[in-house]
Structure 1
Amino acid sequence: MAKQAQNLFLEEWLTLNSNGSSSISSIQSSSSSARAIIQAWGDLRDSLKQNFFQPHHLQSLQVLHNSQSSVYVSDPQAKLLLSILSSKDLSPPLESYPLLLRLLYIWVRKSSKPSSVHIDSAVVILHQLFSLHIHSEQSPYFYSEAFLLAGALTCVPSISEKSKTDCLELLSRLLKEEYPYIFTSNGYTAKFLAGIGYALSSSGTVHLVRIVDSLLKIWNRADGPSGSVSDGLMILHLIEWVLYGFVKTHSSDKISVLTGEILRTSTPTCASFAVLMAAAGVLRASSRSVSSVLMVSRSSAEECIGRVARNLISGTEGCNTSGSQPGNILLLHCISLALARSGPVSFQVSLLMCLSSALLNEIFPLKRLYAKILENHHDSSTIVFNEVKQHLSSAIFREAGAISAVFCNQYLLADEGSKSVVENCIWKYCEDVYSLHRQVGLVLRGIEVELIGNLEKIAESAFLMVVVFALEVTKQRLHSRFSRETQLEISVRILIAFSCFEYFRRMRLSEYMDTIRKVVVSVQENDLACISFVKSIPSYSQLINKDGPSSLNKLDYIWSKDDVQTARILFYLRVIPTCIEQVPASVFREVVAPTMFLYMGHPNGKVARASHSLFMAFISSAKDSDDEERLSLKEQLVFFYMQRSLESYPGLTPFEGMASGVAALVRYLPAGSPSTFYCIHSLVERANNLSSEIMADDNEAWTNWQEEAEPCKKLLELLMRLLSLVDIQVLPSLMKLLAQLTVQLPKEGQNMILNDLYAQVAESDDVIRKPILVSWLQSLSYLCSQPTSGNAALTANTGDLGFNKIDARL
């Protein structure tokens, strides 16, 4: 970056690195035609000839100023500008001075070899402007341009030693007088710091010490409301720029003097925010250079930052280090950004705690924002909306990823006690965000859509941080040197945290899947860990009732529309099957089953299918220690399962999910199980009802198996598939019921079933079932060919007698 700065004005580079934008408030360049630029220079020459400065001459200056990105100022043009500034008779208006100084600055920075005579003249004129107090009635605009030009002049190779000394003396004097506009005028700090940077890069040791000494005093007074994160970042990159240049052009002694002065503090216990960022600049420069002098300075810079961090966390607990004081919050922001831009930093407990606090309270300030909304949701949404938008564009949020990476690196190097503290802070944060986002979603649903969307952007980034951190935790904690109890506890806490943040998982992450695999494997191997995870699922009562302050009681709540809660339950529905063997029957009955059956009726097909998959996993599971209890529960659950599935079919119940559940129960329940008989009877009854409804509405629907007949067709196909799945004891009942159902269908339906059955029996390799099915199919085919078979005839004329004849024939 320092190399890039050589091709830019330093103040632009500082602004770019502090705000992430190439725009500078005081430099609004716009393109002007070449003719307009030539005309502007001509107007200025005329003003000097006429000895009179008119309003259109000021406009000409403005044209040149607005074209500064493309305009080039030659020595003759610089002489013209200097003549205007030094003329005693011309008397240009005060607002012209900053424009004239800016054009001279462009001349100094863009000219490869500016005239030494003109350079010396510029230094003299600058002294005159300040000595005449012409600036006393000017805005900070004038101060910043003059200061910037003075600093830039010191870097010109052709400047005489006397002029350079005069310039440095001028800058030192202005800083010593505690120049009032450096950190207090919005939009001009970059120019002041750039002027200082130019001066530092060209100073001798004496002036170097004097400039830095004066600067430190100003920096220390800039703590608190007058300082800002943007200012701090400018300081960081200013020091980086200066030191990087020093390594190439100056002796090691001079580098040592500069870094030593920079790292001085005003008090023995706490550095100002600016000295903190200057120390970060030393770290950043040392990470980009092989200079041994800078590497030696690195430890001092780290200690400087650590000193600030220790002062912040003194007297606090856990990760709550920021408090509500603006000065503390500013320092916390600066520490985070400083570490994010400084390269690898040695571990310090204070840094880990500060980073943890910054992430949970400042970079992802969801809890604070939610609290504002819930305290007075009628009046606070507009205020929070503006605060959230501003935060999304802030420097600290844009660097959330880099700060999270530094946080994880500090965690890897931490002692076990510190690791436990920050782990607990992260897991608790996830649970709090889940609870609060549910409440806020209920309050703002359908009203503040954009605000909710912006809050979720912050939460999505927080999710990424949690995932990356959790992966590092698994790498550190889930190995043999830790007790099994510790490994299992951490695995469960990670799963619970992920469940809370599942709603904010909007992309596929390899880190997420890697972490899930690691912790699930750990939980699968232990009954107590599995039970602990399962019992963390919200209770049935919590699922169907809203949770939150009494002020929300009047708001309507529908559990199936609670997307945050649904996402969390979906996580459990997907993970519990991976450890279903370790879930005792009693725990499944009390904790899991109510939730599983509730979400089978969820309108989201993905959620409903996951519930059916969980039922299938339990039915197909086995656990030696409680076989009887488990088997008994399986039998009981089938009755609830068939009722819950078929009452919402077609509609909410996804056929594929129900089919997988039915296939599992006929495979894994004992032969001749009453539950299997009940399942078969329930499917036939529902298919029969659907068939009757279709024929009552539109008998032609069967002709091409139109959409109305599709649900019935799927049930019939499922019943046919079960012919090869059910045990031999249940098979006769299935064949009888399927035959009774078939003969009632219209000819089109009968033919469809017979054709499918022919193909299925023909392909069968089951030597026991096939003879039985062949005989049965022949009989069924004969019954379907009789004129009395089919819908109305059989129903009207035979009643129960008809079914008895079918039974006899079969």
Structure 2
Amino acid sequence: MARKANSSLFLEEWLRDVSGSSLVKQNSAPSARSIIQAWSEIRESLQTQKFDTRYLQALRALVSSESTIHVADPQAKLLTSILALREVSLPSESYALVLRLLYVWIRKSFRPSQALVGSAVQAIRSVLYDRRDLKPEPGLVAQSVLVSGAFAFVPSLSGELKILSLELLCRLLEEEECSLVGSQEELVPVVLAGIGYALSSSIDAHYFKLLDFLFGVWMKDDGPRGSVTHGLMILHLVEWVVSGYMRSNNVNKMSLFANEVLETLKAKYAAFAVFMAAAGVLRASAAGISNGAQIVSKLRSVAEKRMESVAQLLLSSGNVTLATMQREVPLLKCFAIALARCGSVSPSAPLLLCLASALLTQVFPLGQIYESFCKGLTGPELIWVREHLSDVIFKESGAITGAFCNQYVSASEENKYIVERMIWGFCQNLYLQHRQIALMLRGVDDTLLGDIEKIAESSFLMVVVFALAVTKQWLNPIVSEERKMETSVKILVSFSCVEYFRHIRLPEYMETIREVISRVQENDATCVSFVESIPAYDSLTSPKDLFMQRIEYEWSRDDVQTSRILFYLRVIPTCIARLSASAFRRVVASTMFLYIGHPNRKVARASHTLLVAFLSSAKESEEDERNQLKEQLVFYYMQRSLELYPEITPFEGLASGVAALTRHLPAGSPAIFYSVHSLVEKASTFDTDALQGRKSDSGNEILELLLRLVSLVDIQVLPYLMKSLAQLILKLPKERQNMVLGELYSQVAESDDVIRKPSLVSWLQSLNYVCSNNRTTGSTSGLLTDISNQLAAQL
């Protein structure tokens, strides 16, 4: 938000600051000696009538120090004398510098001399209109407007002198020289500040002329071209002026402003300028100034109505920019930034819809960027993307989003539904379009891609904040359960689409996710609806909506798609109990197994976790079907996991999956036998060194997993596991055998399974004997068979 009005001595500098167009100044604080020397040079030049480079340098030095110097009445008299010279030719630049110093004098003087002000006004008039050898330049005209307005603003000045100053200012505005201001952007705040001072004068003279120029100059062919920057200057200028009216309880001026500017949209007034003025009125009234409560209330009312009428006009135009009297102005941008800065505004459907459009097309112009690529534009042609990052409308995207959410909260159900669909559609398009751009630009133009993703990352924040506002509306009892469920799915799907851009942990994101998932967990149909939104397997591996002729597609390198699927892999386990076995088989299983093979281990682990969640889930209405599917999935799961181990499959993911299947499959399940067999077979593929963990931990990890299963598998599988373990252990060197046996003894000793424990101890004692005394293959094989038979009989 901008700083409060009246926080700067020089109004034009404040306008530059709050509009984001401040000039960069690198002036060091001048010494007292240098200032004295500069005044001395000017005084000597006047005495000798020689205005050489020393004189010009002295003026420049003083102006560059304007924020720190004080111009007293004697010095102002010296400057006025220079302007009053008739027969002497001065450097053209010096006139504007002298006027600038007179402006510093009048703004910093507590009670300036009335006579001196009168002399200064006459001297300025003489320079502009009596000097035939001098053609006023834009800078001189602008400074004349500024200082004339500042004279009229001085409280202690007589009414006669104020009228004299206002007449000079209005004459400047009316004559063609002021059109020169439109050719130099840096002079616009100077002229606007002069008008602001004049409007704030205690004299009503020329008030309507000033308003006509302020709101009509943008319509003239030779005037300045309206922009967001100019709109912000108008907003804060009106804020400054109206705040002054409120503090002084100037009811007459407030009424005049309301009647002339806000109550009727005049054809000669630019719509964007009036709209920004209305926003300035709201901002001023929100400052808490209590004088004239009735007129302030009227001002707010007519300002809100004017903003709503302009919004309605904008909606009816059907364009993101509105052509008004042949002067095209980015009104939608002005609309967004005005609503962000003006404070609270009464709810209105046109305001809500315009804000939604502004966010999705102007604040986050991603659709325009992606469309540019479709038209074949390249990086150099998209330099505006980088410029957008420093644009004031993008910098204030958070405030604009806040204003949008405030309007949404009080909207009708119909309009809420409209803007929700706009936001959810934006997320879908962002996902579909950014996938292509990311695949095309990564490694080719990373700078441009980074700029685009900065815009997209900010749009993610907008989506999250809006989604939270949506969920908070569910506290309203009139919202139907059907609407809540439908919106829950929409939010989850939208979050999946923008997941790629989530790089920070947001409390709003977590709060929304918790609320939405709690809704999904309440209803089977809602759960299925969400799960069925996951992209189809064929579209993941062979998409038909990408520029396949321009890129060689690899599903595992599609980071945008991977982020979306990772979102599903993480969310589906939270509602897995609501998901039928048939839906899991039809929609989820193939994608889960595909991403088990993703080279990003975080993604692969999430796939293992999803399988674990399904294996551990139960649904009474389909127990047999669910168990049958679990058995079927385990066979392929072990094949898929072990063929990718250890290069891709993370051990912790595999271990959690194996542990889950041993716990949750029926006792004696063939799938468990198959899993043990697969693990043993995989372990046997590692050489002796790998099995010992010297070259790789992979074989050692598999062995440790098999050891862990001793306390997990059911008694029907245990004999087979023991026999398989014995075969592996006997292949180990003696030192490693002792270590493994020690681990097994500890595991058995800590077990409280009174049924299996004696048999396991007996088996371990026999295995220990073999490891210590017998190393021949034949006898070892025979003994293992005996041990296995003995254990089976005991169990």
TM-score range, shorter chain: over 0.9
| Structure 1 residues 182 and 298, CA gap change in structure 2 (3 angstroms) | farther
| Structure 1 residues 597 and 478, CA gap change in structure 2 (3 angstroms) | farther
What is the identity percentage for the equivalent residue pairs of Structure 1 and Structure 2? 52
Contact in 1 for aligned 2:218/2:225 (Cα 8 Å): no
**Residue in structure 2 matched with residue 91 of structure 1 by the alignment:** 89
Q: Post-superposition shift, 1:184? A: 5.0
Listed as ranges, the matches of 1:642-681 within 5 Å are 642-681=638-677
Q: Post-superposition shift, 1:322? A: 5.1
In 2, Cα distance between the equivalents of 1:528 and 1:478? 22
Q: Post-superposition shift, 1:480? A: 4.4
Contact in 1 for aligned 2:5/2:236 (Cα 8 Å): no
Letter in 2 for 1:561: R
Q: Which moved more, 1:245-254 or 1:218-227?
A: 218-227
Listed as ranges, the matches of 1:231-246 within 5 Å are 231-246=230-245
**Residue in structure 2 matched with residue 777 of structure 1 by the alignment:** 764
Q: Post-superposition shift, 1:570? A: 0.4
Q: Is residue 10 of structure 1 aligned with residue 7 of structure 2?
A: no
Counterpart of 1:414 (choices 389, 411, 414) is 411
| Structure 1 residues 268 and 655, CA gap change in structure 2 (3 angstroms) | same
- How many aligned residue pairs are there? 785
Post-superposition CA distance 1:55-85 (Å, at most 9, x none): 3321222222222222222222212111111
In 1, Cα distance between the equivalents of 2:230 and 2:483? 44
Counterpart of 2:308 (choices 286, 306, 314) is 306
| Structure 1 residues 537 and 224, CA gap change in structure 2 (3 angstroms) | farther
Q: Post-superposition shift, 1:417? A: 1.1
Counterpart of 1:723 (choices 706, 710, 715) is 710
Post-superposition CA distance 1:691-725 (Å, at most 9, x none): 44637xxxxxx4xx43x242222222211211111
Counterpart of 2:508 (choices 483, 487, 511) is 511
Counterpart of 1:625 (choices 614, 618, 621) is 621
SS class of match (2:9): coil
Counterpart of 2:165 (choices 152, 164, 167) is 167
Contact in 2 for aligned 1:11/1:194 (Cα 8 Å): yes
| Structure 1 residues 115 and 442, CA gap change in structure 2 (3 angstroms) | same
Q: Post-superposition shift, 1:224? A: 11
Post-superposition CA distance 1:623-674 (Å, at most 9, x none): 1222222211111110111111111111211111111111111001001000
| Structure 1 residues 31 and 546, CA gap change in structure 2 (3 angstroms) | farther
Q: Post-superposition shift, 1:405? A: 0.8
**Residue in structure 2 matched with residue 447 of structure 1 by the alignment:** 444
Q: Which moved more, 1:220-229 or 1:503-512?
A: 220-229
Q: Which moved more, 1:509-518 or 1:430-439?
A: 509-518
Contact in 2 for aligned 1:312/1:328 (Cα 8 Å): no
Post-superposition CA distance 1:738-778 (Å, at most 9, x none): 11111111112211211111111111111122112111111
Letter in 1 for 2:277: A
In 1, Cα distance between the equivalents of 2:515 and 2:48? 84
In 1, Cα distance between the equivalents of 2:212 and 2:589? 71
Q: Post-superposition shift, 1:546? A: 4.2
Letter in 1 for 2:661: L
| Structure 1 residues 3 and 636, CA gap change in structure 2 (3 angstroms) | closer
Counterpart of 1:403 (choices 400, 404, 410) is 400
**Residue in structure 1 matched with residue 55 of structure 2 by the alignment:** 57
**Residue in structure 1 matched with residue 146 of structure 2 by the alignment:** 148
Letter in 1 for 2:598: H
Q: Is residue 766 of structure 1 aligned with residue 763 of structure 2?
A: no
In 1, Cα distance between the equivalents of 2:98 and 2:556? 68
SS class of match (1:772): helix
What is the TM-score of this pair, normalised by structure 2? 0.94
| Structure 1 residues 549 and 771, CA gap change in structure 2 (3 angstroms) | closer
Listed as ranges, the matches of 1:322-361 within 5 Å are 330-361=330-361
Counterpart of 1:391 (choices 360, 371, 388) is 388
Q: Post-superposition shift, 1:499? A: 0.1
Contact in 1 for aligned 2:386/2:451 (Cα 8 Å): yes
Letter in 2 for 1:162: E
In 1, Cα distance between the equivalents of 2:224 and 2:212? 22
Q: Which moved more, 1:225-234 or 1:324-333?
A: 324-333
Q: Post-superposition shift, 1:284? A: 0.7
Letter in 2 for 1:626: E
Contact in 2 for aligned 1:183/1:231 (Cα 8 Å): no
Contact in 2 for aligned 1:605/1:652 (Cα 8 Å): yes
In 2, Cα distance between the equivalents of 1:728 and 1:480? 55
| Structure 1 residues 667 and 222, CA gap change in structure 2 (3 angstroms) | farther
In 2, Cα distance between the equivalents of 1:261 and 1:48? 47
Q: Is residue 429 of structure 1 aligned with residue 431 of structure 2?
A: no
| Structure 1 residues 41 and 225, CA gap change in structure 2 (3 angstroms) | closer
SS class of match (1:105): helix
Q: Is residue 605 of structure 1 aligned with residue 605 of structure 2?
A: no
Q: Post-superposition shift, 1:35? A: 3.5
Q: Post-superposition shift, 1:346? A: 0.9
In 1, Cα distance between the equivalents of 2:133 and 2:621? 90
Q: Is residue 362 of structure 1 aligned with residue 383 of structure 2?
A: no
**Residue in structure 2 matched with residue 699 of structure 1 by the alignment:** none
SS class of match (1:180): helix
Q: Post-superposition shift, 1:549? A: 4.9
**Residue in structure 2 matched with residue 190 of structure 1 by the alignment:** 189
In 1, Cα distance between the equivalents of 2:194 and 2:47? 33
| Structure 1 residues 505 and 205, CA gap change in structure 2 (3 angstroms) | same
Q: Post-superposition shift, 1:217? A: 3.0
Q: Which moved more, 1:739-748 or 1:661-670?
A: 739-748
Counterpart of 2:732 (choices 741, 745, 763) is 745
Contact in 1 for aligned 2:320/2:331 (Cα 8 Å): no
SS class of match (2:161): helix
**Residue in structure 2 matched with residue 491 of structure 1 by the alignment:** 488
In 2, Cα distance between the equivalents of 1:12 and 1:415? 42
| Structure 1 residues 174 and 531, CA gap change in structure 2 (3 angstroms) | same
Post-superposition CA distance 1:165-204 (Å, at most 9, x none): 1111122233344732455531111111111111111142
**Residue in structure 2 matched with residue 591 of structure 1 by the alignment:** 587
| Structure 1 residues 152 and 94, CA gap change in structure 2 (3 angstroms) | same
In 2, Cα distance between the equivalents of 1:224 and 1:64? 31
**Residue in structure 2 matched with residue 77 of structure 1 by the alignment:** 75
Q: Post-superposition shift, 1:505? A: 0.7
In 1, Cα distance between the equivalents of 2:699 and 2:729? 12
In 2, Cα distance between the equivalents of 1:5 and 1:129? 31
Letter in 2 for 1:232: G
| Structure 1 residues 54 and 474, CA gap change in structure 2 (3 angstroms) | same
In 2, Cα distance between the equivalents of 1:683 and 1:82? 98
In 2, Cα distance between the equivalents of 1:524 and 1:549? 34
Letter in 2 for 1:192: V
Q: Post-superposition shift, 1:327? A: 6.3
In 2, Cα distance between the equivalents of 1:246 and 1:576? 60
Post-superposition CA distance 1:202-261 (Å, at most 9, x none): 142343334224433325548998101111111111111111112222432332223332
Letter in 2 for 1:15: R
Contact in 2 for aligned 1:216/1:265 (Cα 8 Å): no
Letter in 1 for 2:345: V
Q: Is residue 40 of structure 1 aligned with residue 38 of structure 2?
A: yes
Counterpart of 2:743 (choices 747, 756, 760) is 756
| Structure 1 residues 175 and 155, CA gap change in structure 2 (3 angstroms) | same
Contact in 2 for aligned 1:220/1:266 (Cα 8 Å): no
Q: Post-superposition shift, 1:273? A: 0.7
Counterpart of 1:532 (choices 512, 529, 550) is 529
In 1, Cα distance between the equivalents of 2:217 and 2:265? 10
Contact in 2 for aligned 1:168/1:203 (Cα 8 Å): no
**Residue in structure 2 matched with residue 297 of structure 1 by the alignment:** 299
| Structure 1 residues 181 and 236, CA gap change in structure 2 (3 angstroms) | farther
| Structure 1 residues 527 and 626, CA gap change in structure 2 (3 angstroms) | same
In 1, Cα distance between the equivalents of 2:506 and 2:221? 43
Letter in 1 for 2:297: M
Q: Which structure 1 residue ranges, 5 or more long, are not aligned?
A: 696-701
